[in-house]
Amino acid sequence: MSSIELVPGLAGIPAAESSVSFIDGQAGILEYRGYPIEALSEHSTYEEVAWLLLYGELPSASELAAFNKDLEELRVLPDALVAMIQAFPKTGHPMQALQASLAGLGMVSPKVNIKDADSRDQAARRVIAATPVLVAAFERVRAGKEYVAPKAGLRTAENFLWCLDGEAPDEVAAKTLDCALILHAEHTMNASTFACRVVGSTENDPYTSCSGAVGALFGPLHGGANERVLNQLGTIGDISNVEAWFEGKTERKEKVMGFGHRVYKTKDPRAKNLQILATEMFGKLGNTPKYDVALKLEQVVTEKLGSRGIYPNVDFFSGLVYEKLGLDTDVFTPIFAMARVSGYCSHWCEQMLDNKLFRPAQIYKGEREREYVSIDKR
Ligand code: SDX
Residue having the nearest C-alpha atom to atom 56 of ligand 1: 255
- Predicted confidence band at 4 (pLDDT cuts at 50, 70, 90)? confident
What is the extent of the structural domain holding 81? 18-219+330-353
Query: Are 282 and 160 within one domain?
Result: no
Of 238, 244, 299, nearest to 267 by C-alpha is 299
Query: Are 244 and 205 within one domain?
Result: no
Write the CB contacts of 259 (distance below 8 Å, at least 6 apart in sequence): 301, 305, 310, 311, 312, 313, 316
Mean pLDDT of 147-176: 96
CA distances from 206 to 82, 118, 378 (A): 20, 13, 49
Query: Are 215 and 256 within one domain?
Result: no
Catalytic residues: 261, 315
Query: Are 194 and 166 within one domain?
Result: yes
Residue having the nearest C-alpha atom to atom 41 of ligand 1: 255
pLDDT at position 248, please? 98
* CATH label of the domain that carries residue 315: 1.10.230.10
Residue with the bigger pLDDT between 62 and 2: it is: 62
Say if CB 341 and CB 347 are below 8 A apart. Answer: no
Query: Are 184 and 286 within one domain?
Result: no
What are the tens digits of pLDDT across the range 241-297?
999 999 999 999 999 999 999 999 999 999 999 999 999 988 888 888 999 999 999
Strand ranges for the chain from DSSP E? 21-24, 29-32, 35-36
Total domains, the chain: 2
**Alpha helices of 265-325 — where are they, by DSSP H?**
269-285, 289-305, 315-324
What are the tens digits of pLDDT across the range 33-89?
999 999 999 999 999 999 999 999 999 999 999 999 999 999 999 999 999 999 999
What are the tens digits of pLDDT across the range 190-241?
999 999 999 999 999 999 999 999 999 999 999 999 999 999 999 999 999 9
Query: Are 260 and 205 within one domain?
Result: no
What are the tens digits of pLDDT across the range 320-346?
999 999 999 999 999 999 999 999 999
Residue having the nearest C-alpha atom to atom 49 of ligand 1: 255
Residue 3 lies in a domain: no
**Tell me, what DSSP letter sits at residue 296?**
H
pLDDT at position 2, please? 55
Residue 123 lies in a domain: yes
Query: Are 231 and 206 within one domain?
Result: no
Average pLDDT score over the chain: 97
Percent of the chain with pLDDT over 90: 97
Residue 4 lies in a domain: no
Query: Are 121 and 198 within one domain?
Result: yes
Say if CB 49 and CB 32 are below 8 A apart. Answer: yes
* CATH label of the domain that carries residue 89: 1.10.580.10
Say if CB 258 and CB 229 are below 8 A apart. Answer: yes
Query: Are 114 and 38 within one domain?
Result: yes
Q: Which residues line ligand 1 (CB under 6 A)?
A: 9, 187, 190, 221-223, 225, 255-262, 308, 310, 313-315
Residue 90 pLDDT exceeds 70:
yes
Residue having the nearest C-alpha atom to atom 32 of ligand 1: 262
Mean pLDDT of 160-184: 96
d(CA 222, ligand 1 centre) in Å: 9
Residue 287 lies in a domain: yes
Mutate to test the pocket of ligand 1, among 32, 221, 245 (most ligand atoms within 8 A of CB): 221
Query: Are 317 and 210 within one domain?
Result: no
d(CA 4, ligand 1 centre) in Å: 25
